[in-house]
Amino acid sequence: MVPTLEKMAADLMAPGKGILAADESETTMAKRLEPLGIANTVDNARRVRELFFTAPDIEKYLSGIILYASSLTNETAEGVAFPRLLEQRGIIPGVKVDNGHGELANFPGEEISYGLETLDTRLTEYYELGARFTKWRSVVHIGDDIPTITALQANAHVLAQYAAMVQAHHMVPIVEPEVLYSGTHTLERSREAHEVTLRTLFRTLESYQIQLSGLILKASMVLPGKESGIPLHAPDVVRETVAALHATVPPNIGGIVFLSGGQTPAEATEHLNGIALHKNPWPITFSYSRALEEEALLAWGGNDEQVHDAHKAFVRRLRYVVQARSGDYQGETA
């Protein structure tokens, strides 16, 4: 029997697990590798992903992994295709399907995401390669007089059309309207931007008749701007994030996964733990990238003799973050 979209979303939100976002673009991968003195080559990007996908026991902590599209055809050094490797480990393969973003004409400082024109064809290919869920990211900037409602509506329509096509292909869409950490805005201004972004998004998703129980929201946390000089204070971040989500997100969605959005591994873990301690109407978990990978990459440094240490660092962070998704995180020595 073919599982329903609701069941597939529930599998991704399985208790005690989360999602690794291993979908870095070539540009983002360069930012990961170059500070370590590692050349940003196609093979080194493949090695990075193999490093994480082959770590011991990750199936205890991960329900799914989001791949960059080219990674769907990558293989391990032993010749096993990445999607097949993950399936064998009981981890659901997913794929990032937007084609990036660029300037929204007539709206300085705001952007629109790309890729709808080719999405239907690509979804057929990705499904055949093993992907069973997808992610599309849009970005929201906070600044003087932005975000505008026009830009928010434009991006919401793109996300809704994406979600409709993905569900038609019997895959679970993750919608990611990321409110960016960069800027000089206050915590209160960030909450306002999150609320209007999410309210606009869900109004649009409902107008497109999206099955919300078969959809997952990838949410940013409410943070003061990175250049504001305002320090991150966990109780404030948790309070404002929970308030924004409870005010805007319908209770019948498949779940919410959080992005780490420039936070350190420890910050992203602590904030998730605080959110989990609240009584939330939807399941929550993580879909982190750098916050899960950073410590392991530092331990590895491109040296295959350090793979064991890298795996150990990765699994340790996974354990902490899984504790946090249940509100059981006791700190970095737990």
Where in the sequence numbering do the catalytic residues fall? 176, 218
Omega within 30 of 0 (cis) for the link into 147: yes
31-to-37, 40, 59, 267, 298 alpha-carbon distances in Å: 11, 9, 27, 20, 13
Question: Which spans in the chain are helix H?
Answer: 5-12, 26-33, 42-53, 82-88, 116-128, 149-168, 187-207, 234-248, 265-276, 290-300, 307-325
Parallel, antiparallel or unpaired: strands 18-22 and 284-288 = parallel
C-beta neighbour count of 142 within 10 angstroms: 22
Which CA distances in Å does 67 have to 74, 92, 110, 313?
A: 10, 10, 27, 21
Nearby residues of 142 by Cβ (< 8 Å), 6 or more positions away: 179, 180, 183, 185, 189, 190, 193, 225
User: Within 10 A of 228 (CB to CB), how many other CB atoms are there?
Assistant: 15
The Cα 5–Cα 21 span in angstroms is: 21
